[in-house]
Amino acid sequence: MTNSQKWLWFLIIVVLGILLYLLLPIMTPFAAGAIIAYIGDPIVNRLHHWKIPRTLGVVIFFLIIILIISLLLFIFIPILEKQIATLINKLPAIIDWLQNTFFPWALHFFGGAKSLDLSDVKIELIKSLEQTKGLVSQIISTVTQSGFALIALAFNLVLIPVVAFYLLRDWRTVVDNTRSILPRAVEPLVVRLVHECNEVLGAFLRGQLLVMFCLGCIYSIGLWIVGVEFALLIGIMAGLASIVPYLGFFVGISAALIAAYLQFKTILSLVYVVIVFAIGEAAESAVLVPLLVGDRIGLHPVAVIFAVLAGGELFGFVGVLLALPVAAVVMVLLRHAKERYVHSQLYAENRINDLS
C-alpha cells in the first residue's frame, strides 16, 4: 500500500469518525439494535442449523426476548420496588446500627477513631433511594408530560426491535458483503482481526452477561431460601457488580451480611449467607466462567471500570452501552500492534542497543 493510499484510508476513517460523532444523538436505537442482533445471531444460527428458516428463527428469538421482558415487568419489578420501599423505611435504623455499633467496633479493632458521624450520609442515601421508589411510575409520568418525549420514546422502542430484526435476518449477508469490498491485500489481516474481535466480543456480550445473570439468580434464590427480605435487591446488585471480577462477591456479601444480621440477629444466619456466596463464587470459578466465557476477554478489572466511566462521560448513554465492546476491540488491536512492534526493525534495534 502506497503512502497516498494510507493517507486516503486515514482520511476516510477520520471523516467516518466525525460523522458518527455528529450523529450520536440518534445512534442509541441503532447501537442497541446492533448489540441485540449480535447477541442473538448464534441462537438464530443454531435454529437455522435445525432446518428452521432464518426469518422464523428471528421471530422465535424475539418471542423469547418478549417473554423475558414480560417477566421482568410484571413479576420482578413490582417485587423489586417493594423491597426498595422496605429498604427506605429501614435505612435510618441500618445507618444508626452502622454508626453506633459496627463502625465503633471496627475502628477500635483497627486502632482508629472512636466514632464516625454518618448523619449526612443517611440524609443523602434516603434522598437517593426515594428517587428510585416507584421508578417505573415516575418514568411513565415524566414521559407523558411531554408529547415530544413520548413520541421520541415510542419511536425508539419501535426502532430498536426493527433494526435488530433486519440485522439478525441479514447478518450473514452483511458480513459477506463487507468482506467482499475489502482490498484484497489487507483482507486476510482484517478477517483475522475481526475473528479475534468476534471471539472477545462474543465472550463478553454473550458469556459475561450470562455469568452476571446466573450469579444474580444464584444469590437471589440462595438469599430467598435463607429468608433475607432484600434477597432480590441484593442479588441483582451483586450480579450487576460482577462485571468487575470479585466486586459483585464483596458488594453482595457485605450487604447480605448486614441485612441478615439486622433481620435475624443470629450468627447462624450469617453462616448461611456466607454459604450462599461461597456457592456462587465456586459456581462462577469452576463452571460459569470456564463454560460461558473462557479466557478470551482479557480485560483487566481497572480497564473495565475506566471504559464504562469514560464512555459515559464522553458519549452519555450510548458510550456506556458501547464502552466495553469498544474496549474489547481496542484491546485486540493493541495486541496486534504490539505483535507488529515486537517483530519490527525498531524493536530489534532497541534490543541490540540494550544488549550492547
Each of the 356 residues of the chain gets a pLDDT tens digit; together they read: 567 767 777 788 888 878 877 777 777 788 888 888 888 888 888 888 898 998 999 999 999 988 988 887 788 888 888 888 888 787 777 777 777 777 777 666 666 555 556 566 666 666 665 555 555 555 555 545 555 656 666 777 788 888 899 988 888 888 888 888 877 777 888 888 888 888 777 777 778 788 889 999 999 999 999 999 889 999 999 998 887 777 889 999 999 998 898 888 889 999 999 999 999 999 988 888 777 776 555 667 677 778 878 877 877 766 776 777 788 788 888 888 888 888 877 777 665 555 55
Is the domain of 286 the same as that of 305? Answer: no
Residue 41 grid cell: 445471531
Examine residue 3 and state whether it is found in any structural domain, yes or no.
no
The verdict on 222 and 326 lying in the same domain is: no
**Collapsed DSSP state (helix, strand, coil) of residue 297:** coil
Query: Do the domain assignments include residue 16?
Result: no
Q: Considering its fold, how many domains does the chain have in total?
A: 3
Q: Which residues are CB-contacts of 217 (< 8 A; sequence separation ≥ 6)?
A: 235, 239
Looking at the structure, tell me whether residues 287 and 302 fall in a common domain: no
Last residue of a domain, one of 295, 317, 332: 295
18 located within any domain: no
Q: Give the separation between CA 53 and CA 187, rounded to whole angstroms.
A: 30
* Final residue belonging to a domain, choices 295, 311, 329: 295
| Closest among 337, 309, 314, 338 to 324, alpha carbons compared | 309
Q: Are residues 79 and 221 in the same domain?
A: no
Give the Cα separation of 105 and 111 in Å (integer): 10
Q: Could you tell me if 169 and 31 lie in one domain?
A: yes
Q: Are 232 and 285 members of one domain?
A: yes
Domain membership of residue 50 (yes or no) is yes
Domain with 68, as residue range(s), is 24-181
Last residue of one domain, picked from the residues 295, 321, 344: 295
- Pair 313, 258 in one domain: no
**317: enclosing H helix or E strand:** helix 301-342
* Domain membership flag for residue 186: no
Phi-psi region of 53 (alpha: psi -120 to 50; beta: other; left: phi over 0): beta
Say whether both 176 and 43 belong to one domain: yes
Q: What is the pTM of this model?
A: 0.70
Whether residues 231 and 91 fall in one domain: no
Domain shared by 28 and 102, yes or no: yes
Q: Are residues 261 and 307 in the same domain?
A: no
* Per-residue burial over 255-291, b = 16 or more CB atoms within 10 Å of its CB, e = otherwise: bbbbbbbeebeeeebbebbeebbeebbeebeeebbee
